[in-house]
Structure 1
Amino acid sequence: MKILLVRNDNIGDLICTTPAIEALRKKYPDAQIDIVVNSYNFLAINKNPFVDKIYVYIKPKHKKNLSDKIKALGGKIKIMSEIFFEKYDAAVVFRSGYSSSAEQFSNISRAKIKIGVKDIKNRDNFTHHIIPNPNEHEVEFCYRCLEPLRIKQGDEKMFFYMPENFKKKYKGYKNYILFHISSRIKENRYSKEKFKAVIDKLDENIIITAEPSDFENAKWLEENSKAKWIKTESLLDLAGLISNVKLFVSLDGGAMHIGPALGVKTIAISGKTNMNKWYPWGYKDLVTQDESKIAGNIEPEIVVEKIKENI
């Protein structure tokens, strides 16, 4: 049996898919299970023991100049050609909203069983439609995508490959709390002043990380609080740090899902995100979210209390 999986969106989304992939492998230990991902989310599936081949393509829209776009398109066409000649038995698109670009891979697979979310314009070719439920977690949704293949949710866990050298690099931070202060969505951001107010109220060793857009805020926090800023060099470098700390506090984003995948207790400071669907898996009770759905409206005292309860 040949099964093609498609998850060509974000890092956190793909991490949330890994428990279902493990369940699929348990059900069909001898099947050929391949997956299509993009260069942006590849690290979330790299070295996953439950998949065979990983098709990785660069999205042309992620490239700026024409020559790079053409090169990326050529790479995508090459992968689609390989999928066409493989001739799969089943194809599963793990997307809770219909995506024509994702369905392209399902269609080219020539699979008799095609599973995905229905196109509201009724133009899809799926043989089995999955109805999204906004009140279920993405992990649970991914299991439901596999129900036509007789898969049920079990005790599977998230998977994220953590190279030992990155983990060893930060072994001295086991008694620290890590704050990741970046989120790309405005409503999910938390001001440096409020982060400082939280840090000042904690009698703990604190380190902070940030994406390049927040380097200035990280520098300010290091200069104006007891927190130490660690300028991680890559996503794996950040994951190595997360894997060592005793508590991870994160704004909503891909990094937030790395904590649970590494077995690290994770507190989420959330804004507009539907946290019934995207809370850190296994840590729903550790979400802090204001009724306004604006992270900046969460008082520092609330975050401090949540941290103290979970140290």
Structure 2
Amino acid sequence: MIDLTNKKILLVRNDNIGDLICTTPAIEALRKKYPNSQIDIVVNSYNYSAIDHNPFVDKIYCYTKPKHKKSLLDKLKAGWGKLKILLAIRREKYDAVVVFRSDYSKSAELFSNITTATYKVGVKNPKGKDHFNIHIPVDDTKHEVEFCFDCLKEFGVKYHDEKTLFYVPKSLSTKYSQFQGFILFHISSRKVENRYSKEKFKTIIANLQNDTILLSAEPADFAKAQWLSEHTKAVFIKTSSLEDLSGVIKNVALFVTLDGGAMHIAPALGVKTIAISGATNMKKWYPWGYKDLVIQDKSKIADNILPQTITEQIQRASEHIK
């Protein structure tokens, strides 16, 4: 075992918000193993909220990806911000770097390469060389939470029932406290294969005896959610951001969602989650702690799932809800 007691450790997780949420149990376990070590992390502006206020990290390096900016000036500003972070990381003289990415990422490895760390952990570059000296095998039958623990195996870090974490400001949970005990449907998903028709959602809601039902959606699906609110007993809550949505989720008793970042937020808040999945590998990405509540058709197309199948799963999961 490699001992990192009193060492400086840099973690890198610069992809999506759900991915970073899945990393939080490993970060907690790392802190428990090395309470006196310096543990810092690199994230981006898109996933920052998944690590904000996390009690197990010391410093958060947050940068904006230049590709996410439209104007040349904004791209240059983002590039300059990233460069300043790379220089700060170089000066810190880390002893170990762990890149939590289950697919090789050149941009993520850059944060490792800028250091003089003795131990550099990451997955192998399938197209050529990389500079990691501890390679982590990728097993797509394992959950992402488990993969993150594999990344820390050489340092003696083990899983002890750590939960995923997501911070919700008290102001947001209080804002939506009137929805305690409700069922919340989140009807948006980025990929076509993971989407579900409004007509089928209408059938599901009509079949439920529960009258305390909410709807949430991404801006692209606001019209769809509004249509559902006009044709069912469900109430549409138009949230302004993913963080705002988390305030609603924090209060509800059951979260029914299509695949996306919100699917990982709910379990991190201790909310029972039913995932309606399409093309996603749900062995790797199911809502942590709620594997048995995943609904997925063999076709890997969410809209092929019968409304009755989803209705029955909701009824079983919400028996305690009045």
Task: Specify the TM-score bucket, using the shorter chain as the normaliser.
Answer: over 0.9
Corresponding residue number in structure 2 for 1:161? 167
- 1:132 is paired with a residue whose SS is coil
Q: Which runs of 5+ in 2 are unaligned?
A: 1-6
Extract structure 1 runs of 4+ deviating beyond 4 A: none
RMSD over equivalenced CA pairs, Å: 0.6
1:53 match: 59
Distance 2:283 2:102 in 1: 14
**1:19·1:139 contact (CA, 8 Å) conserved in 2?**
yes
Report the alpha carbon displacement of residue 82 of structure 1 after superposing the two structures with TM.
0.1
Query: How many pairs were matched up?
Result: 311
Of stretches 163-172 and 137-146 in structure 1, the one that deviates more from structure 2 is 163-172
In structure 2, distance between residues paired with 1:232 and 1:59: 25
Show the counterpart of 2:4.
none
Corresponding residue number in structure 2 for 1:294: 301
**What is the aligned partner in structure 2 of residue 242 from structure 1?**
249
* TM-score normalised by L of structure 2: 0.96
Alignment of structure 1 residues 130-209 onto 2, 5 Å: 130-204=136-210, 205-209=212-216
Q: Structure 2 matches for 1:1-311, cutoff 5 A?
A: 1-204=7-210, 205-311=212-318
SS in 1 for 2:214: strand
Superposition deviation, residue 74 in structure 1: 0.3
Q: Secondary structure of the residue that 2:164 maps to in structure 1?
A: coil
Deviations 1:11-61 (A, max 9, x none): 000000000000000000000000000000000000000000000000000
Shift of 1:157: 1.1
Contact conserved, 1:4 with 1:109, CA < 8 A, in 2?
no
Cα drift, residue 199 of structure 1: 0.4
CA distance in 2, matches of 1:303, 1:180: 14
CA distance, structure 1, for counterparts of residue 78 and residue 106 of structure 2 = 18
Query: Structure 1 counterpart of 2:247, which letter?
Result: G
Of all paired residues, the percent bearing the same amino acid is: 65
- Whole-Å Cα distance in 1 between the matches of residues 146 and 29 of structure 2? 12
CA distance in 2, matches of 1:162, 1:219: 26
Give how far 1:175 is off.
2.4
Shift of 1:153: 1.0
Distance 1:176 1:161 in 2: 21
| TM-score when normalising by structure 1 | 0.99
Kindly provide the CA deviation profile for residues 221-269 of structure 1, in whole angstroms up to 9, marking residues without a partner as x. Answer: 0111111000011222100100101100000000000010000000000
* Partner secondary structure for residue 243 of structure 1: helix
Q: Which residue of 1 aligns with 2:3?
A: none
Q: Secondary structure at the match of 2:251?
A: coil
Q: CA deviation at 1:149?
A: 1.2
**Distance of 1:189 and 1:154 partners within structure 2:** 35
In 2, Cα distance between equivalents of 1:190 and 1:121: 36
User: One-letter code of the match for 1:297?
Assistant: N
Distance 2:288 2:132 in 1: 29
Unpaired runs of 5+ residues, structure 1, are none
Q: In structure 2, what is the Cα distance between the partners aligned to 1:149 and 1:186?
A: 40
- Cα distance in 2 for partners of 1:174, 1:93 equals 38
Residues 178 and 247 in structure 1, CA contact (< 8 A), matched pair in contact too: yes
